Structure 1
């Protein structure tokens, strides 16, 4: 029976490259000359450090551009409120990956409401979809691409 998994994953190597490129661009930009500003990547969190709030907004746009250029969907970004303290401004950007229980339930409900002849099961941080025909599975993929899900979805482990 054909099946596939619905997941939400980030390529950590591409994220690292995007943050490195953003740091390099900061060093070469005229409006950041002589300003102490940088990006720090730890696990799935990018911390932006600058002198004022306006620079953080500029840095966020640079980061979005670099992630997009590296084919990382920016819907995975969760931007926290800036922490403004005296001579330093900090802001964290969480890069979310993995489907939480609420989103898994939303996806399975969407699939069930579509009346396609497939079954969906929640398995940890992924949803497995099985069906008798490969075309039904492709219809599920098309349905999810058109739906409004807050995280980028990938489809892997396709078995025929």
Structure 2
């Protein structure tokens, strides 16, 4: 019997992220407490740039954006935000969306599967994803449960379950 397998990936739906950003921008433009504060949120290349008059306002804009991401089904583990920093008379926060599994995180996941997963489960790193194989589908299910329960700082999806 052939081995069963699945892939572990960490991907962000960029269309949903775009929608979340647009919703946050509209809310910031319309909310009374943001009127006249110069608060804004926009894409700056691959990064998200938040600008506001005070550090508290910048953090409030980030909070609005995070709530929109959650409503759109994007995990906050995929959002990496820097600290608010002053740039002239305004405060800025630069955020990025993490896409793919870094090689060091892939090695951590691989080690976790090897150390705590069922015997007979093989995992290998393939670029920005991991392929997990086993003869038993129950072992694969237990690996998925193990990874969902692990305290990893990235959002994992399990695809191509065969």
When the two structures are superposed, what TM-score results if normalisation uses the length of structure 1? Answer: 0.95
Q: Matched residues in 2 for 1:61 and 1:115: separation?
A: 37
Counterpart position of 2:83: 81
- Structure 1 counterpart of 2:150: 147
Match of 2:50 in 1: 48
Which string of whole-angstrom CA distances, capped at 9 and with x for unpartnered residues, describes residues 12-68 of structure 1?
000000000000100111111122221112454211011111110111110110000
Cα 1:115/1:92, change in 2 over 3 Å: closer
Unaligned residue ranges in structure 1 (runs of 5+): none
Return the alpha-carbon distance in structure 2 between the equivalents of residues 115 and 92 of structure 1: 37
Measured in 1, the distance between the counterparts of 2:10 and 2:129 equals: 8
Q: How does 1:119-158 map to 2 (within 5 A)?
A: 119-158=122-161
The residue that corresponds to 1:93 in the other structure is 95
Query: What is the aligned-residue RMSD (CA, Å)?
Result: 1.2
Q: Distance in 2 between matches of 1:45 and 1:156?
A: 27
CA distance in 2, matches of 1:55, 1:42: 19
Contact 2:106 2:125 (C-alpha < 8 Å) held by counterparts: yes
Distance in structure 1 (CA, Å) of the matches to 2:16 and 2:131 = 26
Q: TM-score, normalised by structure 2?
A: 0.93
Post-superposition Cα deviations, 1:98-125, rounded to whole Å, max 9, x if no partner, equal: 1111101100111011241210001111
Q: CA, structure 1 residues 42+133, in 2 after alignment: closer, same or farther (shift >3 Å)?
A: farther
Which portions of structure 1, spanning 4 or more consecutive aligned residues, are displaced by more than 2 angstroms?
A: none
Residue 70 of structure 2: aligned partner: 68
CA contact (8 A) 2:117 2:146 kept: no
